[in-house]
Each structure stands twice: as C-alpha cells, then as structure tokens.
C-alpha cells in the first residue's frame, strides 16, 4: 500500500474510529523489526511512545524501517514510512509531509503529544536524508 491508497481509503471512511482501526492495521502489517535494533541510538526522541527507526541506502534510494511499542503509533510509523521510504535524499528533504498529514486529517485528530511525536519522526527522517546531500 502507498500513501495515495491510504488517502483514498480514508475518503471512504466517515468515522474517525474506523480510520484509527485502519491505522492500527497498517501497523500490524509492518515488517518485523529486529529487537537488536531497538536501541537508544535508533530511538526517535520527542515521541511519548517508544519509536525506533533504522535506514539503509540502496543506490540512490534511502529505505527506512520502523517500529513502536504502541499500536496506533506503529500505524503512524507505517504511514510515515510510506511517505519517505524508497526516495532519494533530495526527495526526502523536499517532501512536504505537513501537507500530506494535513490532507489525511491526522494533525486534527491526534492528541498534541502524538502529533509532536509524528513530527519528530518526520524531522529525524529529513535529517537522515539531508546527511546524504
């Protein structure tokens, strides 16, 4: 699934409860995250829940993998990875994640702490992308 498909799916859901369940399901479909990668070094600071993020560069693209100890946050990690993973460093830096998250309605329907954590993930990914430029 990609971010455009998530947007389309959201459009068919009238209730935010349904969207929350969908986000949780997205998190359940994340690839397994090795426990050995759940280190402080890989932890995203600024998230209330524990969130870990790793990456590798494959040619021009940067691929991200993430996990969280909270179900809803794990789903948000999945959404963030859909936005950024597989892109070039320049694309990562140029992506307007705020606009995409606004289109999904996430910032209006998440708690302030979760919203801060979401943007902490975005900033971490953008700094990784910028480090390759």
Token pair for residue 85?
């993973």
Residue 47 annotated to the active site: yes
pLDDT score recorded for residue 111 = 86
Token pair for residue 10?
């959201």
pLDDT less than 50: residues of the chain: none
3-state secondary structure of 3: helix
pLDDT score recorded for residue 131 = 97
pLDDT score recorded for residue 112 = 86
Token pair for residue 84?
């950024």
* pTM assigned to the model: 0.95
Q: How many CA within 13 A on the CB side of residue 69?
A: 9
- CATH (residue range 3-131): 3.90.1010.10
Q: Where are the domains of the chain?
A: 3-131
List, for residues 104-120, the tens digit of each pLDDT value: 998 788 888 888 999 99
* Catalytic member of 44, 47, 76, 97: 47
Token pair for residue 73?
């946050």
């Amino acid at each position: 699934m990609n971010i455009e498909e998530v947007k389309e799916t959201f459009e068919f859901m009238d209730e935010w409860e349904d969207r929350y369940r969908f986000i949780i399901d997205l998190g359940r479909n994340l690839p397994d995250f090795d426990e050995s990668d759940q280190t402080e070094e890989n932890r995203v600071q600024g998230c209330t829940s524990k969130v870990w993020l790793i990456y590798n560069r494959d040619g021009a693209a940067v691929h991200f993998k993430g996990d969280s100890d909270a179900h809803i946050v794990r789903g948000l990690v999945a959404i963030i990875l859909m936005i950024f993973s597989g892109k070039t460093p320049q694309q990562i830096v140029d992506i307007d994640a705020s606009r995409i998250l606004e289109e999904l309605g996430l910032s209006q329907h998440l708690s302030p702490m979760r919203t801060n954590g979401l943007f902490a993930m975005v900033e971490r990914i953008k700094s990784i992308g910028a480090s390759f430029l």
